[in-house]
Structure 1
Amino acid sequence: MELLESRPELSVALGGRWEVRALGNSAFCDTWQATQGRMKLFVKSATDRCGAGMLRAEADGLRALASTGCIRVPEVHALSDLPGGGAALALEWLDFACPDADFGRRFGHALATLHAQPCPLEPASFGWRGDNYIGATPQRNTPLQPAGRLGWLQFFSRARLCAMRDRLPEGTSELRYAVDAVIEALPGLFADGYMPRPALIHGDLWQGNWDMLADGSPVIFDPAVSCSDPQAEIAMMELFGSPPRGFRQAYEEAGGSWPTPQRLRLYQLYHLLNHVVLFDGSYLQQALRVARTLA
């Protein structure tokens, strides 16, 4: 442990007399445990403007999810600007427990309840009140109406597929053409009459971004929120792993709808393209295979 005074970038966010312990770092921030008596906080700090923007977007997303009262997220304790353009985000410290046999059912019900809430944007639109990040990649969220199928097809093609296609590294022209073909085929992937509606979603809900608290409550964190088709949330949950046992039944019983296999792959394509961007083409062939099944 070290005293807060030795970490001036954290004193801006916390104030008072805290002990801090370094927990490690990610691609864009350092993480800390801050302790004051019995109170503990999880703190992230970034010294550059890009990392600071990611922390601000994270705080905005957590507050938006918390305001619904549908599912637990870490409480935002403080968000402070740092000298030089950085930022520090102090969050509630959460103690996790090994998920029990009924966790999936509770999680499915809570997420369906979140997805059933009215769109928080006025007027109801696809998008969000500001751009944010999906991983370390900027995510475009300019709101788009109308809020029905046409609005969703326009939003998903422009703000998701086109935006990510334009970020693909050099040497991926074959994938770019395949993405263009998917965009052309989009209307046919909704020919079953499914009507997307804008709902607040976590946006990056892979297996590493949910857990269970000691009291059994499902908790989600590290969001990339937007008002989007809730089926896009399910697709991400199915991409790198799968939802826990009992989740799907509870989700559907609570009113949620599961994507068709084609729409599942469509929404997963966005995240695969992002992984091509983030990891220098390591996911190129997987993204190309998925795109070809859709066009």
Structure 2
Amino acid sequence: MTQESAIAVHRTKSPTWLRYALMFHVLAFFWINAFLADVQKFVVAYAASTWYFNTNDRRSWSAVYLKAVLFFWRYHLGSLAIGSLLLMLFRVPSHIYLFLNHRVKQSRNALVVGAYRSMSFCLKDVERLMKSIHVNAYAVVAANGEDFLSAGNTAANLWQDNSWYMLTTNTVAALLFTLTKSSFAILIGFCSGCYFRARSDVVYWFLPTVVCIWLAYYVMNRFLSLFEIVIETLFLCYACEIDSDPTIQKSPKMMVKRADFGFNKYMAYRIQEERCLNNSQITPRGYTCT
């Protein structure tokens, strides 16, 4: 190679601030994503709590979602920012768990595998508990107007006092939602499979069918997540009402009775009350259909 045709190659190292800026933007992306999801949870929780505590006042229902957005923008923007940041930080161990999963599969050490399984079991339970307390904290913020940390403490205490009933409600709701999402995805997959298979210009008909199944499951999952937030918010409002009622607190038998049977009966009464608002007569105990 002659001197004229030689090519000089210089390696430049990226500055430190550029790497920190990249990390900052990645974290900001996940933070903003979690923040927007929390705004949705807060708006739905605010609407559900407004319906629960103001069923007889129809004026409070007008533009309830707009009121929720203005309410969090004026008073609880910091609460949602802190809550989304904490949720993002709690998700970091789950990402570390996924990274270690690939490493542990290649290891043959029984001690490492056992420690990894124990850690993964604890991480899954902690993450599930934190997600539930996180959603319930927004319900407390929407209902009582507390800051996020105080609302998280209140939600944790309510979760501890009513853990059995909350677990039962969440388990039954999760089972029904899973069956609904799976049935909807299977139905869409069957219809799309028949459609794409009947077309002669589609060679690999199973590829768009899989895409349709995934989109159907994703859309139904996002849709039913709203109902899940509503169920948790209504149960939390009911638990707050039980704890704040001095006549119920003085009677342990009444506490157990209302916790066992009151929620279903009360919610059935409130739903029937809402249906009868257009043709109702006001009585001392509420609305009665005519």
Provide TM-score, normalisation by structure 2: 0.22
Query: Higher Cα Rg: structure 1 or 2?
Result: 2
**With structure 1 as the length reference, what TM-score do the two structures score?**
0.22
Query: If each structure's strand is expressed as a fraction of its own residues, which one has the higher value?
Result: 1
| Bigger helix share | 2
